[in-house]
Structure 1
Amino acid sequence: MRYFTQAFDYDHSWSKVVIGMWHKYPNPHCTHVMSVDVVDRSVDPQTGIIRTERILGCKQRAPTWIVKLFGGSEDAFVREISFVDPTTQTMTISSVNLSLAQFAVCNESIRYSPTPDGRTRFTQSAEIESRMALWHSVADRLESWLATRFEQNAQSGKLGFTDVLRQLWEEHGSEQHQHA
């Protein structure tokens, strides 16, 4: 099993970051995300918690040895479930790959929460595990490749989301000040 974790703060309030999440894709840093489809969205009338389930369609170029061994295509799908809790000001997201899940699973967890200084703390973790116990060397290579690809995509996601937030709030805010 491989693990990935990262944490950092965005220079925007929690509410702006949560709004920005719905505008994250498409962006030029995350060209592997081709589509985002909302499957379900509901609001709990008691708590105000918003639950959203989405399917992300991605294109991932896999090494030739993976395609030859497992088949498949560049198309991959990920199931994402998020909860936005306006009372506690937390947004949690969990995602899991749907494609090739019989060979390997990547469980990702994300949390956005406010910091005392008005920024937003982002924490992300992922567990990547091969499901091929009999083929240890192949399983190890697959986990290694998946972990590397996940880390690359996580860094691209950070850059892309930073740009999205800048476009939504900083550029837009300066335009409002110019027109005032």
Structure 2
Amino acid sequence: MHYFSQLCSYDHPWSHVVIGMWHKYPNPHCSHVVTVDVVDRTVDPETGIIRTERILGCKQKAPAWIVKFFGGSEDAFVREISFVDPRTQNATITSVNLSLSQFATCFERIRYSPTDDGRTLFAQSAEIQARMALWRGAADRLEDWLVQRFEQNAQLGKLGFTDVLRKLWESKEGQLAHA
């Protein structure tokens, strides 16, 4: 199993970041995410927690050896579940791959929480595991490729989300200042 984690902060208040997370896709930095479908959304009447389940459709350029060895296609699907708690100002997202999950899983956790200086802390972690105990060499190569792809996509996701937040909020704040 391989692990990935990163911490960073966004120069926007938590409420802006949470609104922005619903607008993250599509964006030019994350062109691998081609569809986002909301499967379910509920609000707990007692806690106010918003639970949303989405399916993300992705196009991934897999190396030829992976396609040959495991089959499949460039189309991949990810199940994402988020919880937004307006009272505690925490938003958590978990996601797991649906495609080729019999061979490998990538379980991701994201948390957005406010900082004392009005910014938002972003904490991301992932557990990536090949599920092929009989073929250890192939499993190691697959995990290495998945970790590399995840790290690339995580960096692109950060860039893309920064752009989304800038477009959503900085232009609006500038308009309000000039009004």
Shift of 1:109: 0.2
CA–CA distance in structure 2, aligned partners of residues 23 and 109 of structure 1? 19
User: Where does the alignment leave 5 or more consecutive residues of structure 2 unmatched?
Assistant: none
Paired position in structure 1 for 2:172: 172
CA-atom RMSD in angstroms: 0.5
Percent identity of paired positions between Structure 1 and Structure 2: 75
Paired position in structure 1 for 2:28: 28
> After superposition, what is the alpha-carbon deviation per residue over 1:90-114, rounded to whole angstroms, capped at 9, x for unaligned?
0000000000000000000000000
**3-state SS in 1 of match to 2:99:** coil
Shift of 1:172: 1.9
Paired position in structure 2 for 1:39: 39
Shift of 1:171: 1.5
CA–CA distance in structure 2, aligned partners of residues 41 and 123 of structure 1? 23
Shift of 1:173: 1.3
**3-state SS in 2 of match to 1:29:** helix
> Partner letter of residue 139 of structure 1?
A
CA–CA distance in structure 2, aligned partners of residues 177 and 87 of structure 1? 29
Paired position in structure 1 for 2:141: 141
Structure-to-structure mapping, 1:86-97, within 5 angstroms: 86-97=86-97
CA–CA distance in structure 2, aligned partners of residues 90 and 17 of structure 1? 11
> Partner letter of residue 20 of structure 2?
G
Q: Does 1:60 align with 2:60?
A: yes
> After superposition, what is the alpha-carbon deviation per residue over 1:44-100, rounded to whole angstroms, capped at 9, x for unaligned?
000000000000000000000000000100000000000000111000000000000
**3-state SS in 1 of match to 2:156:** helix
Shift of 1:3: 0.5
TM-score (norm 1): 0.99
Paired position in structure 1 for 2:8: 8
**3-state SS in 2 of match to 1:141:** helix
> Partner letter of residue 61 of structure 2?
R
CA–CA distance in structure 1, aligned partners of residues 173 and 23 of structure 2? 17
Q: Does 1:106 align with 2:106?
A: yes
CA–CA distance in structure 1, aligned partners of residues 37 and 109 of structure 2? 19
CA–CA distance in structure 2, aligned partners of residues 173 and 49 of structure 1? 28
CA–CA distance in structure 2, aligned partners of residues 177 and 49 of structure 1? 33
Paired position in structure 2 for 1:75: 75
Shift of 1:177: 2.2
> Partner letter of residue 64 of structure 1?
A
Paired position in structure 2 for 1:17: 17
Shift of 1:176: 2.5
**3-state SS in 2 of match to 1:164:** helix
